[in-house]
Amino acid sequence: MHNQGLVKTVKFKNPKYVGDPINAVKIFNEKEADELMVIDIDATHENQEPDYKMIENLAVECRMPLCYGGGIKTLEQAQRICGLGVEKVAISSIAVENPGIISKIAEHVGSQSVVAVLDVKKRMLGDRYDIWTHNATKNRKQCPIACAKQMEELGAGEIVINSIDCDGVMKGYDIDLAKKIRKAVHVPLTLLGGAGSLNDIRELINTFGVIGAGAGSMFVFKGVYRAVLINYPSCSEKDKLAMLVQ
């Protein structure tokens, strides 16, 4: 979400408008998407309160598990959002700045509803990574592996690793990064950034088995010219994928 519209970025830059969020939810309902994550990229960056009316409208329309993130800084905000019918709350910058908030939220809404999102970028030299926040404008200079492990210990029920380098590139997930995080945590893990085809998802699942495969551009763009077309794998395509990874 950016300026109340649905957008997609490339390496967290140049947001391209892809439609009205409510209309997108309706299409994903019809396509039987497995889960939907909506991130308001303005809220934290602009120090704004979550748009509760928008969140409520999304929750009412959504027919699949919904996760919302953006601007959540307190337990009260998380509780209010869950009270609107949202199954999960995603926290990122506040979880890095104040990890104890994870335990507070998990205690009241359940660990299964707390998703810790880490936006990660590889250093220019070497094979180490740093955590970035505020739409990749602030380098926290923290190790995502240690941070993910700590967040799991504090009660996060799910970890989402968002590769800034791969965001919107559609050339495959950062498998090396995924391997480092998978060794460190045992809660459900989802990789985001880089998915451009079902083959990319197949490679991820073949490598790790049970793992979440998140995608953005793959589900909203079509063809080399990236024409906007909201889509999702059909049942037959998902059955084919299941056969390929067995």
What was the pLDDT predicted at 73? 96
Distance CA 46, CA 238 (A): 39
Q: Is residue 16 part of a domain?
A: yes
Which DSSP symbol is given to 43? T
One of 40, 51, 119, 200 is an active-site residue; which one?
Answer: 119
Quick check: 11 pLDDT over 90? Answer: yes
What was the pLDDT predicted at 54? 96
What was the pLDDT predicted at 8? 96
Q: 246 pLDDT band (50/70/90 cuts)?
A: low
Q: What is the dihedral sign for C-alpha 149, 154, 155, 159?
A: negative
Quick check: 245 pLDDT over 70? Answer: no
Distance CA 177, CA 161 (A): 9
Burial 38-57 (b: 16+ CB within 10 A, else e): bbbbbbbbeeeebbeebbbe
Residues 6 or more apart whose Cβ sits within 8 Å of residue 99: 150, 151, 154
pTM as predicted? 0.93
> Among 15-29, 195-209, 225-239, which stretch is predicted with the lowest mean pLDDT?
225-239
What's the number of domains the chain is made of?
1
Q: Is residue 103 part of a domain?
A: yes
- Could you list the residue range(s) of the whole structural domain that residue 202 is in? 6-244
Helical H segments across the chain, by residue range:
21-31, 52-61, 75-83, 93-97, 100-109, 144-154, 175-184, 198-208, 217-220, 235-244
Q: Torsions phi, psi of 15, nearest 5?
A: -60, 130
Residue 119 annotated in active site: yes
What was the pLDDT predicted at 234? 80
Percent of the chain surpassing pLDDT 70: 96
What's the mean pLDDT in 204-208? Answer: 95
Q: Is residue 240 part of a domain?
A: yes
Q: Is residue 1 part of a domain?
A: no
Q: Is residue 168 part of a domain?
A: yes
pLDDT in tens, 160-190: 999 999 999 999 999 999 999 999 999 999 9
Q: Which candidate, 15, 75, 77, places its Cα nearest to that of 50?
A: 77
Tell me, what CATH number does 232's domain have? 3.20.20.70
Quick check: 115 pLDDT over 90? Answer: yes
Which residues, listed in sequence order, are joined to residue 17 by a DSSP beta bridge?
Answer: 7
